[in-house]
Structure 1
Amino acid sequence: MQTHEIRERFTNHFVETGHTEVPSASLILDDPTLLFVNAGMVPFKPYFLGQQTPPFENGLATSIQKCVRTLDIEEVGITTRHNTFFQMAGNFSFGQYFKEGAITHAWTLLTGPVEEGGLGLDPERLWVTVYTDDDEAAEIWEHKIGVPVERIQRMGMEDNFWSMGVPGPCGPCSEIYYDRGPEYGQEGGPIADDNRYMEIWNLVFMESIRGAGDKKGGFEILGELPNKNIDTGLGVERVACILQGVDNVYETDLLRPVIDVAQELTGTQYDAGSPADDVRFRVIADHSRTSMMIILDGVTPSNEGRGYILRRLLRRIIRSARLLGATGEVMEPLINTIMDTMTPSFPEIADNRDRILRVALAEERAFSKTLESGTHRFDEAAETLKASGVTTLSGEQAFELHDTYGFPIDLTMEMAQEAGLEVDMDAFNAAMEEQRNRAKADNKAKKMGNRDDSLYREWVDAHPTEFVGYDQLTHDANVIGLVKDGEKVTEVNQGDEVEVILDVTPMYAEAGGQMADRGRLVMGETVLNVGDVQRIGKKLWVHKATVQNGGLDLGSTVTAEVDGAWRHGARQAHTATHLIHAALRQVLGPTAVQAGSLNKPGYLRFDFNYTDQLSDAQLEEIATITNQAVDADFAVNTIETSLEEAKAMGAMALFGENYGDRVRVVEIGGPFSIELCGGTHVEHSSQIGPVAVLGESSVGSGARRIEAYSGLESFRYFSKEAALASGLASELKTPSEQLPERIAQLTERLRAAEKEIENLHRQQLLAGTGDLAAKAETVGAHKLVAVHLPDGINTGDLRTMVSDVRGKLTGEDAVVVLASADNGKAAFAVAATPAAVESGVKAGELVKTFGTYVDGKGGGKPDLAQGSGANPAGIDAGLAAIRDALA
């Protein structure tokens, strides 16, 4: 049975029993505790916590949620049951059925005949576990379902008590296991062997709220949830493994094709007797799928957060392929293959293939350059070690290659072995552990738990705010809620900072990149200045305000007034953003997709997924198309329709955004621009005024940003530019249209003059090096030139001088040390002739010796090194110390 059919049977089973089908949320949600959605229940957290009332008919839901877990990336492929990306099929009951209902549903689907829509598993091969003291669940399994008591096992909190690992919902659980047979391990049930007995479904009986704690069981139960709820998770990949008769999740219809392609690319065979190679194949398969799904949801590689995880996954693919024997690029065939296998379950992949591939290939090419620089750094280190007779690469050096150059430790070890070296893995692992501990501490500091929106629940449920601001800037409203310092109050007074909840408002709440409206709430002499408006649960508008004058009571009627100038500027910027997006796609193609935006009066920035820097010609074309659309005076139409109809119209949606059944489409100029958008816009494109595109820049690997002014801010910008051009034209006595050519001529003349000055400076420096060489003195077995030069010579010049003096002493065992005070610091450089290096002199070590006397440091190769320090008064002492060292 193919994986997409398993998904279909699961969904059909629960829809037919009254559950509402909920589409998978994006892997990226607005949750401060998570980088990625890591469990099927994550999108339902507000309902479990009682912060919002579930909107599902009968209080029942089912979903197949995309999930990513990346805590133990290094363990991927070592075990054959775990993936970083997986599909969690679940059914949810919010205060409806509980243990018996969840158990009955699961058993019916798992053991039901295939011809009747079930999965057809043999009930004699199913085992279950329950929480230690959960007699109720054990009783249901034995007497209601008929599972023999010997196939019901009890486990403790580590195994049969579920939480997300952070403060939030939790409860005991019951897990269902499938016995794969004696060839997979010993008898005795899940307690005896969890390889033979594969867990396939976890039924969580959500009834409590847990507090903070680092480990399972190391937390306090804070209380009960408002209702007893059900959260279950069936591992789609594990069930596919069983129903397809394969040994592990890497050999199912989703991942095995990737392994087959990897065999062709590397010339190495999977399952040919090498456990290490098999792990690498599984890493390639797992990470290809996870990377593709993360890119699909809008993430691009970077050095932090989600982007760092993606970069790490992609680079582990490349590293594994290299270690298996690949010599060229591998990403294109691997990603194409995983997109083919996953599209039946996720049709949206088809519309994003080019973009996904572009991001993956760009990272592969970037990593190739990293490998080159890392290899160069390794070769330098290996050469130095061999010259000094050392056979071990230090853990610190290996960690530097890993951390600074992104060089995988496996590759370092392979190259070290080829060079006849070992790697101090104990020290490397200690450095890695220290880094992990720092990361965990940082992550812990960021995990602030769940925002307690339960304070607002009565308003969310009973009095959703009516937004009338699309066509009105002023409206009377009733004050249905007041919050001050996190508590509900019945009155507020002058000077108070408060949150005001109205039953109706014309003020736009921040969303979709558009900043919130500014405005006032007025009642007679009472005035509250509104500086921000936020939404809770997409239903409730919270006005953050300061009481400027008077006071306000709960139940009062106020007039809500939007700052008209602010709104006008914000509308201009937001509509201009749509025009720029459309222009981008005309110039760059459909792979240039929005990744974020910010719109405020007079200014916009637009982030988009694209790997290459835009040329000046492309940027000019984007600006031209945008302003042509302004000049065309396109009508801006808004349409409310269903999500499916909007997609059929060609409306673009944002990654990571979860849309309801009814959506708002903004159409500008017919087919010119059509997007899903809840923001405010001008009525005609000409109302935007001129749009000044300021430029574009990188905001991470595979992501670019365009910034622009709109309306009056654009006019002011153009006026400044015109005044600047006029001033330059006057100063240079050149017509404005000839300024670029004139400035280019002057720049070229300046560069030529600077080069000439540099050459003269170099000649002046080198003119005295002959005299310096003549000052060589004999110190021990060496010739030494050690001179404290006049002030003002920088490190770069010193390096040039010591190299030249060394050249004049070629053939001798000689060392050159020059130092100078430059801008309040000590600059110094050391050079050693080949004979001196042969006799054991190391310039890098001498520089370190010198550095201790000038409160500085330095480094380099045995024949040439340099450094700087904060205490130039120690220069003479440093020179003396080098004399002593050579003597």
Structure 2
Amino acid sequence: MFVIFCLMIAMISSLVGIVAKVMGDVFPELKQYQSKIQEIIAEEEASFGRTLVKGIEKFKKAAQDVQGTTISGQACTEAFILWDTYGFPIDLTQLMAEERGLTVDVEGFNIAMEEARQKARSARSKVVGESIVMDADATSELHKNGVATTNDSYKFIWNQEHESVVKAIYTGSEFIEIAPDVADIGIVLESTSFYAEKGGQIYDTGSIEGSFGSFIVNNVQVYGGFVLHIGSVNGGKGLYVGDKVTCKVDYDRRSLIAPNHTCTHMLNFALREVLGDHVDQKGSIVLPEKLRFDFSHGKPVHPEDLKKIESIVNQQITDELDVYANEIYPDPVRVVSIGRKVEDLLQDPDNKEWLSISTELCGGTHISNTREAKSFALLSEEGIAKGVRRITAVTTECAFKALELASSMSAEISEASKSEGSLLEKKVAALKSKIDAAAIPAALKADLRTKISQLEVRMVFCGSLNFFCNTSDQDGIRKLKKKIAEENVQKAVKAAIDVATIAASEGKTFCITQVDVGLDTAAVREAVLKVLEQQGLPIMVFSTDETLNKAVVYAGVPNTSPKNGQVVLEWLNEVMKPLKGKGGGGKNGIAQDQGSDASCLGEAMDIAAKFASLKL
């Protein structure tokens, strides 16, 4: 039965064509994306297959320890962990047990599951005023007490105080009538102008004030239609159920959030324009300092496409388009459109012109005109799951700062290009790290990295071949780097073999040498391997970069001794002390490390010789 089950799972991807044929007229996207759907399901089947392998091994171990015919609760706990962590189903555990003539303590499994649920509830419970959660029992109690869900339509009104009434006070475990001072609690109002976190947009903050003093709001969540304002009472007398209060939203903070939210809509539109209609939103987070947008796409977005996407959003900002929102009935939903009124769209829904503007269902807060976003900078694009990419971006002053920083770095590269030799090497090394960490537009970062690569080629080519190279051909750069790497290997191997040959002819039992290949670890390692192969001598090879004051060291001990791995590490660790090594490692008689103080190379080589004389 278990084998049959596994075979059935493995057949699902092969059924995609049949499903598309039978249901494609009703769901045309099945035909449109048939190959992609089949590919994703096949990958999930493979992933589930790996899970099954892990589960089978764990089950075998649990079954071997069975006393009698029942897999105990303890074993079921292991099965639960596998289900909880890897998604291995409990019914498979039961199926495999049945085939071995065993039964499963399902009750024990359920106990383990309930314990996990309790831990999850505890983790979601009150944590310093930010994570109070109202579960279904709590919202049900409010309904029974005649408390109506919160009217939060006032959240779309900006820069106005809002009068309301306290309807409930919640501690995270129970409802109370009065909130003590400086208590981390949640309050439910009859109506509110605070935006509760949802749809990817972060919550509003601010204060709720009344005769009791003030309630500092640091989180707002919604549960079953009840908006829970989470925070603490600050001074004054106690806050009671029934108190009249005034909502005071921090609109300065919201004015940072709104441009980011509107720009997620414009970004979504730009992505579909540049990449195609297959792009679907998979998630988003809108914060005061940035926006993050997840979308469906099967491969990294090319820097040139990132430039186009960024340009489309900035063009919409430059065009100063009005942003419209309207609630559509029946079954009310809020529609947000950029550049044309929602009413216009409804009057002529088949108009192809609407394909050229952003229109989305959204319950968030937005700017009134795209000019309020000021500027848009796309900082990064990365993969987060199979077929899902993530873009992080900033707007307003943060976007200006990102552009200014990119411009400043470009100027630094231009200035560095005027340098030569060791000074150029120092500047390039510093700029590489600086660019990698910089919050600058991704497309501009790619351009800056290309310029740095050109400087690296010029630097390496000049140093190795005494030839000036200023090519922008990336393929040429790769070929040149490969050529230089091959030359480094030849240089290091020849130098090490020459020294080892002399050492062997003189009857020495080890060989220590320095080669001139900078921090090219591959070349140094190859030199060690060749000496071991051709001369069979213990060997240690050093190479340094004087500009960076760093050293790379490889050591090798022939495998004639069963403890060669231990000895070579002892040898290396002693040598790396003056070089301030990071902590070497290796296997099969080969060990390597890097040091941050190449100025002590002479001392290190002396230590290497003394150690080798005593122990090798």
User: TM bucket by the smaller chain?
Assistant: 0.5 to 0.7
Larger helix proportion, structure 1 or 2?
A: 2
Distance 1:705 1:830, change over 3 A: same
- 1:669 is matched with which residue? 339
Shift of 1:708: 1.2
By how many angstroms is 1:573 displaced?
0.9
Q: In the alignment, what sits opposite 1:78?
A: 4
Correspondences of 1:628-667 after superposition (within 5 Å): 628-641=315-328, 661-667=331-337
Deviations 1:731-772 (A, max 9, x none): 7689x9x99997665343124246559757963663242332
Task: Compute the displacement of 1:366 (Å).
Answer: 12
AA of the residue aligned to 1:335: V
Aligned mates of 1:455, 1:407 — CA distance in 2: 38
1:801 aligns with 2:527: yes
- 475-484 or 722-731, larger mean C-alpha shift: 722-731
The 2-side partners of 1:78 and 1:636 are apart by 57
The letter of the residue matching 2:222 is: R
The letter of the residue matching 2:28 is A
Matches within 5 A, 1:565-644: 565-641=252-328
- Superposition map of 1:285-300 within 5 A: 285-286=11-12, 288=13
Shift of 1:634: 2.9
SS for the counterpart of 2:11 is: helix
**What's the counterpart of residue 28 of structure 2?**
350
The partner residue of 1:546 within 209, 213, 232 is: 232
The alignment's C-alpha RMSD in Å is 5.0
Map of 1:783-794 to 2, 5 A cutoff?
Answer: 786-787=510-511
* Gap change, CA 1:492 and 1:753, over 3 Å in 2: farther
Q: TM-score with structure 1 length normalisation? A: 0.45
Q: How is 1:147-158 mapped onto 2 (pairs within 5 angstroms)?
A: none
> Offset at 1:567?
1.5
Alignment correspondent of 1:316: none
Q: 1:769 aligns with which of 474, 494, 497?
A: 497
Whether the 8 Å contact between 1:572 and 1:602 is mirrored in structure 2 is no
- Is the 8 Å Cα contact of residues 299 and 387 (structure 2) preserved in structure 1? yes
Q: How do 1:68-107 and structure 2 match up within 5 A? A: 78-79=4-5
The one-letter code of the counterpart of 2:538 is V
> Aligned with 2:202: secondary structure?
coil
**1:829 maps onto 2:499 in alignment:** no
**Aligned equivalents of 2:245, 2:339: Cα separation in 1:** 38
> Taking structure 1 as reference, are residues 519 and 611 closer, same or farther at Cα in structure 2, changes over 3 Å only?
same
Distance in 2, matches of 1:637 and 1:793, equals 59
How far the C-alpha of 1:638 sits from its partner, in A, is 2.3
The one-letter code of the counterpart of 1:667 is S
Cα distance in 1, alignment partners of residues 30 and 360 from structure 2: 16
Q: Does structure 2 retain, via aligned residues, the 8 Å contact 1:851–1:878? A: no
1:699 CA displacement: 1.4
What SS does the corresponding residue of 1:78 show, helix, strand or coil?
A: helix
Q: Distance in 2 between matches of 1:765 and 1:486?
A: 72
Match of 1:613, SS state, is coil
**How far 1:541 sits from its partner (Å)?**
0.3
Q: Distance in 1 between matches of 2:608 and 2:60?
A: 39
Contact in 1 for aligned 2:336/2:361 (Cα 8 Å): yes
The secondary structure found in structure 1 opposite 2:325 is strand
8 Å Cα contact 1:476/1:560 also seen in 2 = yes
Distance 1:526 1:755, change over 3 A: farther
Q: Secondary structure at the match of 2:308?
A: helix
Q: CA deviation at 1:799?
A: 2.7
Separation of aligned partners in 2, 1:805 and 1:693: 51
Separation (CA, whole Å) in 1 of partners of 2:298 and 2:186: 43
What is the count of residue pairs matched by the alignment?
470
Q: Which residue in 1 is equivalent to 2:404?
A: 719
1:817 matches 2:538 = yes
Separation (CA, whole Å) in 1 of partners of 2:44 and 2:172? 49
Q: 1:849 to 1:723 in 2, by over 3 A?
A: closer
Matches of residues 212-361 of structure 1 in structure 2 within 5 Å? 280=7, 282-286=8-12, 288=13, 335-341=16-22, 347=26, 349-351=27-29, 354=32, 357-358=35-36, 361=39
Aligned in 2, Cα 1:733/1:766: closer, same or farther, shift over 3 Å?
Answer: closer
**Counterparts of residues 127-206 of structure 1 (less than 5 Å):** none
- 1:490 maps to what in 2? 177
AA matched with 2:555? F
Aligned to 1:458: 141
**The 10-residue stretch of structure 1 (428-437 or 469-478) with the greater mean CA deviation from structure 2:** 428-437
* Cα deviation, residue 353, structure 1: 5.1
Residue 714 of structure 1 deviates from its aligned partner by: 1.8
Q: Does the CA contact (< 8 Å) of 1:853 and 1:877 recur in 2?
A: no
Equivalents in 2 of 1:729, 1:880: separation in Å? 52
Give the superposition deviation at 1:350.
2.6
Query: What secondary structure is seen at the aligned counterpart in 2 of 1:476?
Result: strand
Q: Tell me which moved more, 765-774 or 819-828.
A: 819-828
- Matched with 2:197 is 510
Structure 1 partner of 2:156? 470
SS of aligned partner of 2:257: helix
2:459 corresponds in structure 1 to 750
Whole-angstrom distance in 2 between the partners of 1:881 and 1:427? 49
Q: Deviations over 1:128-147 (max 9, x none)?
A: xxxxxxxxxxxxxxxxxxxx
Counterpart in 1 of 2:441? none
Q: Within 2, Cα distance between the matches of 1:613 and 1:793?
A: 31
Contact preservation (8 Å) 1:850, 1:881: no
Cα 1:754–1:705 shift into 2, 3 Å? farther
Assess if the C-alpha contact under 8 Å between 1:802 and 1:830 holds in 2. Answer: no
Cα distance in 2 for partners of 1:827, 1:428 equals 45
| Counterpart Cα distance in 1 of 2:52 and 2:172 | 50
Equivalences for residues 410-489 of structure 1 within 5 A? 439=82, 442=85, 447=117, 448=119, 452-460=135-143, 462-467=147-152, 468-472=154-158, 473-484=160-171, 486-489=173-176
1:192 aligns with none
What is the CA distance between 1:491 and its match in structure 2? 2.1
Query: Structure 1: how far apart are the matches of 2:44 and 2:242?
Result: 61
Measure, in 2, the Cα distance between the counterparts of 1:851 and 1:438: 42
In the TM superposition, residue 867 of structure 1 has moved relative to its aligned partner by: 3.1
Whether contact under 8 Å (2:327, 2:333) holds in the other structure is: yes
Matches within 5 A, 1:675-686: 675-686=360-371
Distance 2:202 2:610 in 1: 62
Gaps of 5+ in 2: 65-74, 87-112, 125-134, 341-353, 420-443, 466-483, 544-549, 574-583, 595-603
1:625: how far off? Answer: 1.4
SS in 2 for 1:505: coil
Aligned counterparts of 2:567 and 2:249: Cα–Cα separation in 1: 68
Please report how far the alpha carbon of residue 584 of structure 1 lies from its aligned counterpart in structure 2 after TM superposition. 0.6
User: SS where residue 156 of structure 2 aligns?
Assistant: coil
Report Cα offsets for 1:464-498 as digits up to 9, x if no partner: 00001112442111011112353322222432222
Distance 1:522-1:695 versus aligned 2 partners, 3 A rule: same
| Aligned residue in 1 for 2:591 | 867
Distance 1:409 1:532, change over 3 A: closer
* Superposed displacement of residue 686, structure 1: 2.6
Structure 2 match to 1:305: none
- Does the Cα contact within 8 Å between 1:352 and 1:591 map onto a contact in 2? no
Q: Which amino acid aligns with 1:669?
A: G
Partner of 2:385: 700
Per-residue CA distance 1:533-559 (angstroms, 9 max, x = gap)? 00101x010001122332422211110
Alignment of 1:45-64 (within 5 A): none
Taking the aligned partners of 2:377 and 2:218, their CA distance within structure 1 comes to 27
Alignment partner, residue 202 of structure 1:
none
SS where residue 499 of structure 2 aligns? Answer: helix
Instruction: Give the fraction of aligned pairs with identical amino acids, expressed as a percent.
Output: 22
Structure 2 CA distance, aligned partners of 1:407 and 1:361? 19
Q: Does 1:562 align with 2:488?
A: no
What is the CA–CA distance in structure 2 between the aligned matches of 1:510 and 1:570, rounded to whole Å?
12
Q: Identify the match of residue 374 of structure 2 among 677, 689, 693.
A: 689
Q: Give the C-alpha shift of residue 501 in structure 1.
A: 1.0
